[in-house]
Amino acid sequence: MMEGKGDDELNICLENMVVFGDGDSSSIKEINNEWKDIPMELLLRIVSLLDDEQSVIIVSSVCSGWKDAISRGLSHLSLSWCKRNMNSLVLSLVPKFTNLRVLSLRQDQPQLFDNGVETVANSCHDLEDLDLSKSFRLSDSSLYALAHGCPNLIKLNISGCSAFSDTALAYLTGFCRKLRILNLCGCVKAASDKALKAIGNNCSHLQSLNLGWCENVSDDGVMSLAYGCPNLRALDLCGCVLITDESVIALADNCVHLHSLGLYYCQNITDRAMYALAQSRVKNRLQVLESVKEEGLQRLNISQCTALTPPAVQALCNSCPALHTCAERHSLIISGCLNLTSVRCACAFQPHRQLKAFSRQAY
């Protein structure tokens, strides 16, 4: 369970037991035989040195002292290593770890059921980060339980949970108003314009949202996000085939901190959207305080957006120096847009500028 540096730190802890104990150094030998006598402070320290969640689970069965220490001190837990019977593990373990802040239940094969998530909601009221990705056996009951039991959620990943409805997601956002990071990739039923309007109304602190392949999302939903979530920094709309320039224009006008935007396969996007993003960069320079460095867009995926032309995309590149087409940085992704091969980032002009400056110095 512990090796290398961990062993050294554990030995130091044991040698310094007198700090927590009764001051008698002769008791160290007894500690090795009587684990139950180790003070809670030291147990918490030892638990913090464990390598992984499986070790934590194993040592929680040593004695009641270990169990109490882990229950009190464990704040991060991942059960993603579990290949089968994850739901049973959640039902038995999670009620013991009531101070969890971060919990990952990501699965390769669906093992989680609603009663497992309901147990999480009933036990971990301070949970801030929950990963339920690929849990397509879950129903709306799970979202309703989380809404009531985990109102402090800041980060939620339900990508691939295809059974959730937009009604349940909208309900969740009414209680979990602190959400900043939300992954809805592949949640075709849940990620509708109705749900996005609820997110815009309830989650004003939202900073990152993944709507990849949520094909029912239209301009109405994205515009609601733009108006209601001005702190958005990253938005993935890949495969949202219904959106048009109006969505991008609303984002450009209202989300001044946006630095990552995915528009892969959004074939209704035209040059209007690119010029809007370029112009918003100029406006933001005037609005943002000089003490705050705004980089503008730092990542943009416009692959398969075949309606775009080189002048519009070049204008955006010129206004957002963090966008690069060069292989070294490659933050502007234009795969499948053969008509954009002439677009160049700032790196392409740098050698020319350096040569020009050298020529001036020479004369």
Q: Is the pLDDT of residue 347 over 70?
A: yes
| Rounded (5°) CA angle 303-307-312 | 85
Question: Residue 180's closest CA among 223, 116, 130, 227?
Answer: 130
Classified as helix, coil or strand, 114 is helix
Both tokens of residue 228?
């209601």
Q: What is the pLDDT of residues 238-258, one digit of tens each?
A: 999 999 999 999 999 999 999
pLDDT of residue 25: 45
> φ and ψ at 197, to 5 degrees?
-65, -40
CA distance 115 to 135: 13
Contact 12, 28 (CB under 8 A): no
For residue 120, CA distances in Å to 88, 115, 177, 317 come to 12, 9, 19, 46
pLDDT of residue 49: 60
pLDDT of residue 34: 56
Per-residue HEC secondary structure of 115-137 comes to: HHHHHHHHHCCCCCEEECCCCCC
What is the DSSP-derived secondary structure letter of residue 243? -
Q: Is the pLDDT of residue 303 over 50?
A: yes
pLDDT mean over 306-333: 93
Buried b (16+ CB within 10 A) or exposed e, 280-318: bbeebeeeeeeeeeeebbbbbbbbbbebbebebbbbbbe
CA distance 208 to 226: 12
Residue linked to tokens 């802890």: 13
Both tokens of residue 210?
């993944």
Q: Is the pLDDT of residue 69 over 90?
A: no
pLDDT mean over 272-295: 70
CA distance 156 to 184: 9
CA distance 193 to 220: 6
CA distance 200 to 93: 36
Mean pLDDT over the full length of the chain: 83
For residue 294, CA distances in Å to 40, 100, 181, 323 come to 47, 35, 21, 13
Residues in the chain: 363
Question: Residue 189's closest CA among 209, 208, 217?
Answer: 217
Residue 187: is it exposed, middle or buried by C-beta count within 10 angstroms (0-12/13-18/19+)? Answer: buried
Among the listed ranges 106-120, 220-234, 284-298, which one has the minimum average pLDDT value?
Answer: 284-298
Please list the alpha-helical segments (H only) found in the chain: 5-15, 27-33, 40-48, 53-59, 64-73, 86-93, 114-123, 140-149, 166-175, 193-202, 219-228, 245-254, 271-287, 310-319, 346-362
CA distance 21 to 28: 10
Using 50, 70 and 90 to split pLDDT, how confident is the model at 96?
confident
pLDDT mean over 195-216: 98
Instruction: Please enumerate in sequence order all residues whose Cβ is within 8 A of that of 65, keeping only pairs 6 or more positions apart, or say none.
Output: 35, 36, 38, 40, 43
